[in-house]
């Protein structure tokens, strides 16, 4: 299988010695195309930093990132932006919907940014609204939505551009248990039905159990002691791994 993401000795340091903070310490990681992987770790462990480096939103202090077969560390800022737009859809904990755009307009935003015609947007957006149960809210603005509706809108937007990889940063962190479960089921479907890759970072064992592979970020490194493989990862197995690694 082709890797959609590969990192080698990925390192991120903030500040300078002697007061520097080393967040990531040589992370080696690979995600095959069409797979659903999860990286677990406590708050502040560097999970979001890792996503930012993978997507090219931030630059590593050392090491490399390959995204969609290209070494983003060697690209210019503009080239990184274009590679991210071609390859990555992002689902955030805080939704990041534009408040002055309706649900329909938010979902169609990646198409507009890519310069697609209005006809393409009109054809592409309604099926996504229907798929995620937000057709009846198409004219509503973000402040009029529930948390679950906002996150389903965010997922629909992430799929609109057709990117092969979804990066999901604590996507259920601000949701009720029921809404969070619906969001995780939707992300699992994105992998199974659409064949897209999903990389989830979370500290929630229930969410992690939806993945094909669960990795653990410990002291800035991906643990080689414990990796859980699915399908059918049990939530209890996630809890046991976290306890064994003292995280």
pLDDT tens digit string along 37-79?
Answer: 999 988 778 888 999 999 888 889 999 999 988 898 888 888 8
Report d(CA 203, CA 151) in Å as an integer. Answer: 18
- Any alpha helices (H) in 88-176, and if so which ranges? 103-113, 118-131, 147-160
User: What tens digit of pLDDT does each residue of 138-180 get?
Assistant: 999 999 999 889 989 999 999 888 889 999 998 988 888 998 8
pLDDT average, residue stretch 183-204: 92
- pLDDT tens digits, one per residue of 106-144: 999 888 887 776 666 678 899 999 989 899 999 999 999
> Which residue bears the tokens 């306890």?
243
- Per-residue tokens: 43: 């708050």
Could you tell me if 216 and 185 are in contact, meaning their C-beta atoms sit under 8 angstroms apart? no
Q: Which secondary structure element, helix H or strand E, spans residue 147, and what is its range?
A: helix 147-160
Q: How far is CA 88 from CA 31, 84, 137, 217, in A?
A: 13, 5, 26, 22
- Structurally, what CATH architecture does the domain formed by 3-244 represent? 3-Layer(aba) Sandwich (3.40)
Q: According to the model, what pLDDT value does residue 161 have?
A: 85
Distance of CA 184 to the CA centre of its chain: 12
How many other CB atoms sit within 10 Å of the CB of residue 212?
20
- The predicted structure's pLDDT at residue 93: 81
């Amino acid at each position: 299988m082709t890797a959609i993401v590969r990192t080698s000795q990925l390192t991120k340091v903030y500040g300078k010695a002697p007061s520097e903070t080393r967040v990531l310490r040589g992370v080696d990681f690979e995600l095959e195309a069409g797979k659903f992987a999860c990286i677990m770790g406590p708050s502040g462990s560097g999970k979001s930093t890792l996503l930012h480096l993978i997507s090219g939103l931030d630059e590593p202090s050392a090491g490399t990132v390959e995204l969609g077969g290209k070494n983003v560390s060697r690209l210019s800022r503009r080239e990184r932006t274009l590679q991210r737009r071609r390859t990555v859809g992002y689902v955030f904990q805080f939704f990041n919907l534009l408040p002055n755009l309706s649900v329909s307009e938010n979902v169609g935003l990646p198409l507009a940014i890519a310069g697609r015609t209005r006809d393409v947007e009109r054809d592409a957006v309604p099926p996504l609204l229907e798929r995620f149960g937000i057709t009846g809210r198409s004219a509503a603005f973000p402040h009029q939505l529930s948390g679950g509706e906002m996150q389903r809108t965010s997922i629909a937007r992430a799929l609109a551009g057709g990117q092969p990889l979804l990066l999901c940063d604590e996507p259920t962190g601000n949701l009720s248990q029921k809404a969070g479960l619906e969001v995780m089921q939707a992300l699992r479907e994105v992998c199974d039905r659409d064949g897209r890759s999903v990389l989830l970072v979370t500290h929630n064992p229930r969410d992690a159990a939806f993945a094909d592979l669960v990795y653990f970020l410990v002291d800035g490194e991906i643990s080689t002691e414990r990796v859980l493989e699915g399908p059918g990862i049990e939530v209890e197995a996630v809890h046991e791994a976290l306890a064994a690694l003292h995280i």
